[in-house]
Amino acid sequence: MGGNEARAVHTNSVIEAAKLRARDEQEMQNRLQQIQWDHQIFNDEIEPEHEAKHMLTCACDIHQYKTRKQNRVAVLKMWSEAVMYPGEKYYHDCYYSQQIWNNNPYARIITPYGPVGRVRQKPVARYHARWLVETIRLNSSLNATAQRIANQYEPTENIWEVEDEPVAANDGDGSDTAHHRSDSLKPSILTQMRRSLSLRSSEERESTRKAKRREEYRELRHTILAEEAGRWPDPESRRIVTEYQEHLGLTQRIAALRVHRPMQYLHLLRAGYFEPIPVAWAKQNSNPLKFRIEAAEGWRGLTPTWRGYENTAEERLYWVLNHRDESTNGSEPRQWLKPDVISALEMAGTRMATAVDLPPVYEALDDICQTQTPSAVGYSRQVMPSPLRAIDAPELPTDNTMILLDVSGSMDFDPVRPSYEQYMVTRYERTMQPKNKDVAKAVIRRFTDALATHDQNREGYQLVTFANKAAYMGYINHRNFASVWSQITVGGGTRVMAGWQQVKDLHFQRHAGFATYHAVYGWQAGPQMPILRLLLLLDGEATDMDEFELELLSLSWVHVTIFLIGADGCPHHHRHANELQRISEVNPHVAFVDAQGNTPERYVTHELLKRHLGYEVTLSEFEEWERHAPPAYETPA
């Protein structure tokens, strides 16, 4: 397996800055979230504020956090210098020092707190709304300016066609011919006077500038070639990178960027945009795809138009979506724009308004919402899923079905939905519905029963859970369902990449004869790799969901069906559903179904089976599988 031999560890300024930043990036994010929660601030974009007479000596949690931010200014500067494009200026928002000379353009707009002067400030909805509008407008303006300036700094010639600097010939003969030639080339008296007075003709000045530019172009070309050789030092690595670009549909756009925008190409090359995600990143608390982007604080992304993204994974995902080679039948290619906070909430409200009552045929007395919350008034209205797109071939006997289950802390919380004043969350309200973990359990039971009947599968299906880490629970079937479920521990964050890495390892270990393993990029599927059909159940947006979606775009051997569980009437649920809808439109190997509130489990199971199996399972066929369900479940001890 090429590429697995001992190899030099490649590095560059972005990699080194990322290593330094990753040391406490996750800790800072966790601390900010805790302070926001403690001070009843429910919007991620609002940072807590506390005015004090002596800010440097105030011992409150808010100022302790701000002191930590101040101590990270050196890290911020190193990161900024590594990722800034020509013409950009470094800035920060730590005003304990250097306030006068700071270049922060966001210091001029209003804050979510409005007028200052109160000891313990609380954000105000009208100021928050105004701050959002001003921030969105400034982001757009700065992004457009940054892209224009980045383009202006690009070479005016094709750097790959600039000739190498000629090597001066070593003419050592002392012949009369050579002596005569040197005499004939002596400058005129006028030329000597110009040089002595440092006066040059316009032609000479232009020639000097041109020579200097070409030297810079040769240096840029050399830097790119050295970076490519360092990142992809062997044929196996280069093959994997080439296939990755082809699967994403980026080959032509990357080649054009390399020729026509080589400086921007180099920036993205250093950041790893043109290669698979390194396998080691999935298990790290922080990595270059988990870095927060915060324009007002100066934490930059990696493209010229980085302002407005939440993190570096989201930025890279949208860059990929907007640079794929797509067949548009002569029309303009679609531009995928990240919705801002205001647009995302409006789109969530629009989606929520399309919910309808489901056909009574799916109602069941043993639904968890009927047995746990009998006081609830019927089933919740549901948004109908998009029609089935059978792009992948229907399930084959060689396909491998696995289940990936979110067991983060929110799965065991009493379901709540936010209450808004304009765009600001003011509180959360309890909804009368089962806990998400109970809904997931009921749907998995129905799904595996029906699928086992269809597949004639007596062994069951492999189950992996994930929160902060992944756990392999073994095979789950109708005989051991209760005992396996009793071993599941709920709690922690929502890191889907940890679970996905575990699923990949299990799939490739099972079919190792169809794959190779690369030291940096991990398992690589061969052309005969059996299809992995994955059912993913989760109740919200994973912290690394964009990273997961980005990886799925590059894979042709996996089909993922996502079931999103949410609170009834929750804008956050529908906002996440819109994001999953976006990725399912782009990636034919991803399908999703969502449900809110009191859920008709048979309806959800039927829709999941259609997408999992890749064909329009009829209601009569589904009911037939239900009638031939396995024997009764064991009773938990």
For the chain, how big is the Rg over CA atoms in Å? 30
CATH number reported for the structural domain that contains residue 461 in this entry: 3.40.50.410
Evaluate the CA torsion angle 412, 415, 421, 423 in order and state its sign. Answer: positive
- Confirm whether 33 is domain-assigned: no
- Residue 525, H or E segment: strand 522-525
| Residue 289, CB-side half-sphere exposure with 13 Å CA sphere | 27
**Poorest-pLDDT segment among 131-135, 277-281, 434-438:** 277-281
- Distance of alpha carbon 480 from its chain centroid, rounded? 36
Kindly report the number of other CB atoms within 10 A of residue 98's CB atom. 11
- C-alpha 88/C-alpha 92 separation (Å) is 13
CB under 8 A, 24+ apart: contacts of 440-444: 440/405, 440/406, 440/411, 440/537, 440/539, 440/563, 440/565, 441/368, 441/485, 442/367, 442/368, 442/601, 443/537, 443/563, 443/599, 443/601, 443/604, 443/605, 443/608, 444/403, 444/405, 444/476, 444/535, 444/537
Tens digit of each residue's pLDDT (9 = 90 or more) over 117-135: 555 578 999 999 999 999 9
- Confirm whether 392 is domain-assigned: no
What pLDDT was estimated at residue 635?
A: 45
- Confirm whether 316 is domain-assigned: no
- Confirm whether 561 is domain-assigned: yes
Is the pLDDT assigned to residue 177 strictly greater than 60?
no
- Confirm whether 519 is domain-assigned: yes
What pLDDT was estimated at residue 331?
A: 54
> Which residues, including other chains, have CB under 8 Å from residue 373's CB and lie 6 or more apart?
432, 433, 434, 598
Q: What percent of the chain has pLDDT over 70?
A: 87
Tens digit of each residue's pLDDT (9 = 90 or more) over 437-475: 999 999 999 999 999 999 988 899 999 999 999 999 999
Is the pLDDT assigned to residue 294 strictly greater than 70?
yes
> 420, 574 in Cβ contact below 8 A?
no
Instruction: Give the chain's mean pLDDT.
Output: 89
Is the pLDDT assigned to residue 632 strictly greater than 80?
no
DSSP string covering 546-560: HHHHHHHHT-SSEEE
CB under 8 A, 24+ apart: contacts of 385-391: 385/592, 385/593, 385/594, 385/607, 386/581, 386/584, 388/591, 388/610, 388/611, 388/615, 388/616, 389/588, 389/591, 390/614, 390/615, 390/616, 391/588, 391/589
- Confirm whether 461 is domain-assigned: yes
Tell how many helices (H) and how many strands (E) occur in the chain: 21, 10
| Residue ranges making up the domain that contains 497 | 397-627
| 487 three-state secondary structure | coil
- Confirm whether 246 is domain-assigned: no
Strands 590-596 and 558-566: parallel
Average of pLDDT values for 174-180?
48
> Which residues, including other chains, have CB under 8 Å from residue 200's CB and lie 6 or more apart?
194, 208
pLDDT level of residue 575 (50, 70, 90 thresholds): very high
- Confirm whether 595 is domain-assigned: yes
Is the pLDDT assigned to residue 480 strictly greater than 90?
yes
* Count of domains forming the chain: 1
DSSP string covering 179-203: HHHHHHTPPPHHHHHHHHTT---HH
What pLDDT was estimated at residue 637?
A: 39
The amino acid at residue 233 is P
